[in-house]
Structure 1
Amino acid sequence: MPLKEAHPFFSIITVCLNEPNLERTCESVVTQTCQDFEWLVIDGGSDEKALCIFEKYKKRMDYFISEKDNGVYHAMNKGILQSKGKYCNFMNAGDSFYMPDVLQKVAEFLKYYPEIDVLYGNTYIGAPRNSVVCPGRHKDLYEYFYRYTVGHQSSFIRRNCFLNYGMYDTNLIIASDYKYFLMLYKNGCIFKYFDNILAYIDNHGLSSDMKNINLMTQERRQIISEFYTSHEIACFEQKRRDFYKKCIYQKLRK
C-alpha cells in the first residue's frame, strides 16, 4: 500500500450520534476510487452498536474520537481543527457519496479550476421526496441563498476558508451551514457549480425532522436579516409573489 501524502487533497469529516444507516456512510467513503483523502470521524458518544460498526472501518480512519459534544456544528468544528486536507467535505452519518467515483470526478474538476473556494453539486434526497436538488440551475447564487442553500454533503470547502473566516456558529442548532455558505459568498469567496449528483441524503437528519421546522425557519430569518438589506428582502419577496402568481395563472389556463 503506497504511503499517503502528509496533506491529502480531501478531508472527509463524518459526524455521528447513533445513526441507524451508519454503515452505508462508511461503505461510501472507503470504496471511493480516489483515495487521496483523510477520514476523520467525530462521534458524539454513540452506543455499542454504532461503535462496533466503526470498529470495522478503523483501519481506514485517520482520526477517531467518541465523546459527548455540544451538537452537530461543534462536532464539525472539532473535525475541522484536526483536518489537513486542501478541501473539506462533511459526509455525516446516514448520508453517503452518490457513487464510488465522486471524489475522483471532484478532484479532477478542482485541479482544473484551482481558484475555487467552494465547489457545490447536486444532491439526491431520499424518501419520501426521492428527488434531485440542482442548485446550479439558478444563475444568481445570492438570490438562491435567500430561499435555499447548498448541501454540505455535496460541497467541498477549501480548508483555508476556515482559517480565514472562522468555523461554524455553534449558537445555531440547524442552520449554521447555511449561514457559513452565505458568509463565504458575501466575503467574495469563489463558488463553482459542478453538475453532478455528489451525495445521497437519507432525509431523516436534524433539519428534516418536522419538529425542527419552526426552529429552522426562525434561524434562517435571523441569518437573512443579518446578510440581506431590507431593499433586497423586499425585492426577492416580490419576485417570489410574482412567481407564484405565474404558476397559478398557468394552472388556471390548463
Structure 2
Amino acid sequence: MKISVITIVYNDAKGIIKTLDSIYLQRQYVDEYIIIDGGSTDGTVDVINQSNVTPDVFITESDKGIYNAMNKGWRLASEGNHIIFVNSSDYLENNICKNLVESKIDRFDIVHGLARFIKNDEVLYVQGRDVKYLSVRMIEHPTCLVRKNVFIELNGFDELYKLSSDYDFMLRAKAAGFKFKFIEKIISNFDLGGASSNSILGAIETLKIKYKYNMLSKSSCAFRILQLRVTKLMKSIVK
C-alpha cells in the first residue's frame, strides 16, 4: 500500500503543529504529503514553512469550504495511492503508516479502522464501525484510506453539503460496489473541536442524506429535523 496524506487547514497555527509532528515521525512510510491551506492569516503558513516536514505539495489559497479543499487535495494525489485526510489538529496513531504499508490489504478500495476522539487534550473514547453499520451512521472518516480511483469514479465529495459530504461519499462508494476493509487498529486521533462535531447543520445534513438514499421516510426526516431545531432553540432560551 502506498499512502498519500492530505491535511486541510485554515487559521490553525497551534493545532497544525501536532499534525505536522505526527507526519514527520512516519514520513518514510508516507509516499506523499499534501497540504491545502485556505489562505490562513494567523501564522499557520509560517509554522508549516518552518516545520521539519517538507510537503510534496503545499497550496495556500482561498477555497469554498472544507469539501472544496478536500476535492483539491485528492486530485493532486498520485494514481493508485490510498488517500487519508489528516486535517489540522488531528494526528496519526504512532507507527500506523508502517503497519499499513507492510500489510496485505492494499487490494481493498477503502480501508478504515478505529479513531481515538479527543477534546481539550483529554481522550473521551475510542470508536470504529464496520461498513455494515453505514446505514445507521457514518463510519470514522478520519481513519479512512481511500484509493484514488474511488474518488475519480465518484467525482469526489458533493460540495452542496457543508459538513456531512463524507457520509454521502461513503454511501455512494458502498452502493457502487467498492471493497471496504475494517481493521481493529487505531489509525487516527480526532479533535472534537472541529466544525462538523459542533454544528446542528451537520446533523440536519445527515438526516437529509439518509432521506436521499431512502434510509428515512420524508415525514420521519422532517420530524427529526424539527426536533433538532426545537432542541437548539430551547438551549438558547435556557442560556
| 1:33–1:104 contact (8 Å) kept in structure 2 | no
1:77 equivalent in alignment to 2:63 = no
Structure 2 spans left out of the alignment, 5+ residues: 221-239
Offset of 1:118 from its aligned partner? 0.4
Counterpart CA distance in 1 for 2:41 and 2:16 is 12
Give the structure 2 partner of residue 107 of structure 1.
Answer: 101
Give the structure 1 partner of residue 17 of structure 2.
Answer: 23
1:149 equivalent in alignment to 2:142 = no
Offset of 1:59 from its aligned partner? 5.6
Length-normalised TM-score, structure 2: 0.83
* Alpha-carbon distance change, 44 to 35 in structure 1, aligned in 2, over 3 angstroms: same
* Alpha-carbon distance change, 38 to 114 in structure 1, aligned in 2, over 3 angstroms: closer
Counterpart CA distance in 2 for 1:18 and 1:151 is 24
1:11 equivalent in alignment to 2:11 = no
Say what the alpha-carbon RMSD is for the aligned residues.
Answer: 2.1
1:171 equivalent in alignment to 2:160 = yes
**Counterpart among 226, 229, 249 of residue 212 in structure 2:** 226
Aligned length: 215
- Greater C-alpha Rg: 1
- Percentage identity across aligned positions? 25
**Counterpart amino acid of residue 61 in structure 1:** P
* Alpha-carbon distance change, 182 to 90 in structure 1, aligned in 2, over 3 angstroms: same
* Alpha-carbon distance change, 63 to 230 in structure 1, aligned in 2, over 3 angstroms: closer
| TM-superposition CA deviations, 1:106-151 (whole Å, max 9, x none) | 1222xx1332010001000012661001214xxxx34x12332122
Counterpart CA distance in 2 for 1:58 and 1:24 is 12
Give the structure 2 partner of residue 122 of structure 1.
Answer: 114
**Counterpart amino acid of residue 125 in structure 1:** F
| 2:129–2:140 contact (8 Å) kept in structure 1 | no
Which shifted more, 199-208 or 145-154? 145-154
* Alpha-carbon distance change, 83 to 201 in structure 1, aligned in 2, over 3 angstroms: same
DSSP-derived class of the 1:146 partner:
coil
Structure 1 spans left out of the alignment, 5+ residues: 1-7, 235-254
